[in-house]
Homo-oligomer: A and B are copies of this chain.
């Protein structure tokens, strides 16, 4: 007896399952994309029911008149990409407005939703099916809540899956510059409890950097967030070695992101605690900085690596995880297989979605990309080109048609 399938993707030249383990393991998870030649995926009710060689999958499921079959002959098929670090929701869309603190206050929640939707559409068209989205352009109770409520609406209404993060400590707002500790206190005692009360965030993040929040302030905010049940992230060591990565290890954060200036002792501490490095090469590229984060050192130390767009208006306005992969390879010397792992399973771990996303395995959401290339090795080659031809979310073809039968 075989189970009926809603969706069948068959005859992938390379099916990169990324199903090499349930957690990022030292080295291994980065190196092995779990390739199946002439691979297939079957899904039912939005969930994957079978993965393997096409012949075996076709034996294990039954086709009905309602089954959509997509022929991926000659094509690479991967999990949908996971973008684990974005500043998705802010107001303003014109170049002139691309400065920090973008007048969130001047826009209604519904406008924020509309702008966020257009950005998600663009990300989805480039193969991203799960996105972490931070607040942080409000910097007041009312505006941070507005941004997170808009984020929640997007999560409820868009095909792309959303992981919401509270980043009230993105910057000290100008009117609080005289008393930054007072702002930190508000974040801890007023904003965080309100965010948690409304269930608006899964993660709390802090921008730990000279000019933003100190190690001491960051520890205070993240500890308060942890006590309230949020999981932790941190912007660490982007412009200078500030101890942020070490703090992430101390607090057991899921990820420390940026890491352009992290000393190797602190990377070793991250490896020890299993903190994922969220690498944001788009910001390095767009800001004309010379030093990409030292991804090769991280791989050697056993730090799990995730890649993200860091989508934001000021320092990395790219929507494309394909570009993050290309920059990860070209700028950071990751191999294509490492970069793919970093953009799928490791990114899913970094946002607490590994049970649902980031690899192709029975029970996971049927989020897939069918590419206009035939192998993982080609992923970074056509940098700047959208090579995601067909995108499937929850077992439904949402972008492109492919050759369906």
Contacts and interface: CB of A to CB of B under 8 A. Distances in A.
Interface string A288-321: 1000000000000000000000000000011110
27 contacts: A93-B374, A94-B374, A94-B375, A95-B375, A95-B378, A96-B377, A118-B372, A122-B372, A122-B382, A122-B387, A125-B386, A126-B386, A282-B383, A282-B384, A285-B383, A286-B330, A288-B330, A317-B381, A317-B383, A318-B382, A318-B384, A319-B382, A320-B382, A320-B385, A322-B384, A323-B383, A326-B384
Interface string A82-121: 0000000000011110100000000000000000001000
A387 B386 CA distance: 10
Contacts of A318: 382-385
Contact of A377 (B95, B118, B286): B95
Contact of A378 (B94, B118, B282, B322): B94
Interface in A382-401: 382-387
Contacts of A323: 383-385
A283 to B, nearest CB: 11
B285 A122 contact: no
Main secondary structure of the interface of A (DSSP, over half): loop
A86 to B, nearest CB: 13
A93 B288 CA distance: 32
A227 to B, nearest CB: 39
A387 B126 CA distance: 11
What are the nearest 5 A-B pairs in CB distance? A323-B384, A95-B377, A386-B386, A320-B384, A319-B385
Contacts of A326: 384
A385 B120 CA distance: 12
A381 B288 CA distance: 13
Contacts of A372: 118, 122
A214 B9 CA distance: 53
Nearest to A122: B385
A285 B382 contact: no
Contacts of A317: 381-383
Nearest to A377: B95
A384 B381 contact: no
Contacts of A118: 372
Most buried by B among A93, A94, A374, A386: A386
A386 B319 CA distance: 9
A98 B381 contact: yes
Interface string A326-337: 100010000000
Given A122-B372, A125-B386, A386-B386, A95 B286 contact: no
Contacts of A122: 372, 382, 385, 387
B285 A330 contact: yes
A320 B126 CA distance: 14
